[in-house]
Amino acid sequence: MNIREVTDGDFEGIWSIFHHIVKAGETYAYPRDTSKVQAEKIWIKAPRKTYVVEAAGIIVGTYFIKTNQAGPGEHVCNCGYMVAPLARGQGIASLMCQHSQQQALELGYKAMQFNCVAASNTGALKLWQKLGFVTVGCLPKAFFHPHLGYIDAMVMYKWLTSS
Amino acid sequence: MNIREVTDGDFEGIWSIFHHIVKAGETYAYPRDTSKVQAEKIWIKAPRKTYVVEAAGIIVGTYFIKTNQAGPGEHVCNCGYMVAPLARGQGIASLMCQHSQQQALELGYKAMQFNCVAASNTGALKLWQKLGFVTVGCLPKAFFHPHLGYIDAMVMYKWLTSS
């Protein structure tokens, strides 16, 4: 597997993953009917950097990195990660999260924050914890899950530097 | 004092408050050098609604309300409040926060969240607690204060409806 920065021809591959995951409405706080144009803005244009993971020339994962709050909060970044449904269980999310922490440091960030991890997304919660993130907050009923209704959302955080 | 929705002529009054507070860099996660154009985008154009508090025809306070996260998170709103330095201690922040909770319900929101309250902003923390908000999270060293350095930022939250 190869991880690299996004290029012009990558959006079709990203969109097929994005659309599948966001349409389900179970993990990401984006509208379930997010359009292709909006998705490109969210995932590629608005963030500071976007990366893709390729296996045999196919995009199997993607993540972005952006500044979470401006000014006095600009040393904290935020990332979003997506893995193609057929490529789950191969450590791609873990690979991307580790890569993103390194990129964050290179971009000058000191910490990384996930703002809204659905409590039902136990796979993600466990993985981020394993990779050093701490659940620093719980937002009661902040996420509307299509099958479970209003569920809690977690705020996760990791200080990345030793300084 | 009169609280009403913003109109075209209000931005000069808002800007004088915004600029003073944001330039200090002690409370809001906006760049300290935020321009007038950027400020109008942040405070009036991007939010769903903006309000001003007038006393004797002068704007002494202002707040916005916007959706905090999209899609599955769109029932939670976020607000920002600013009081003119010379008008502090008159209950204007309290008036605005109570007004905003009512407006939030009318706009269909079910909860309100403050994402990044600097730990040093004890006046705000106490006031929001008094008005029913709970500190649901602490982001370690997430706010860079110009005099105190890296300090914690609090995530505050209130469920607004009985349902």
Residue A123 has pLDDT above 80, yes or no: yes
- Mean pLDDT over residues A87-114, rounded? 97
pTM to 2 decimals?
Answer: 0.97
Q: Which of B18, B35, B76 to mutate to test the interface with A (most CBs of A within 10 A)?
A: B76
**pLDDT of amino acid B162:** 86
Largest Cα separation within chain B, whole Å, is: 43
Which residue shows structure tokens 């244009």? A45
**Cβ contact (<8 Å) for A22 and B71?**
yes
Q: Which of B28, B35, B136, B145 to mutate to test the interface with A (most CBs of A within 10 A)?
A: B136
**Cβ contact (<8 Å) for A34 and B116?**
no
Return the closest-CA partner of residue A43 out of A84, A6, A97: A6
CB A72 within 8 A of CB B21: no
CB B48 within 8 A of CB B63: no
Q: Are strands B134-145 and B149-159 parallel, antiparallel or unpaired?
A: antiparallel
What is the number of alpha carbons within 13 Å of residue B125 lying toward its C-beta? Answer: 16
Give strand ranges (E) for chain B.
Answer: 2-5, 49-55, 58-67, 76-83, 111-118, 134-145, 149-159
**What are the helix (H) ranges across A9-156?**
11-24, 36-40, 92-106, 122-130
* ipTM of the modeled complex: 0.95
Confidence at A3, pLDDT banded by 50, 70, 90 = very high
Residue A162 has pLDDT above 90, yes or no: no
Query: What is the Cα–Cα distance from A62 to A58, expressed in whole angstroms?
Result: 11
**pLDDT of amino acid B84:** 97
The residue of chain B nearest to residue A135, with distances taken between CA atoms, is B137
Token digits of residue A51:
């990366």
Residues 96-125 (B) with a CB less than 8 A from some CB of A: 110-111, 113, 115-116, 118
Task: Name the β-bridge partners of B72.
Answer: none
User: Which residues are CB-contacts of B38 (< 8 A; sequence separation ≥ 6)?
Assistant: B31
Q: Name the amino acid, one letter, at A22.
A: V
The residue of chain B nearest to residue A71, with distances taken between CA atoms, is B31
CA end-to-end span of chain A: 32
Residue A163 has pLDDT above 80, yes or no: no
**pLDDT of amino acid B163:** 73
Q: Which residues of chain B have pLDDT under 70?
A: none
Confidence at A100, pLDDT banded by 50, 70, 90 = very high
CB B60 within 8 A of CB B84: yes
Express as a percent the part of chain A with pLDDT over 70.
100
Q: Name the amino acid, one letter, at A52.
A: V
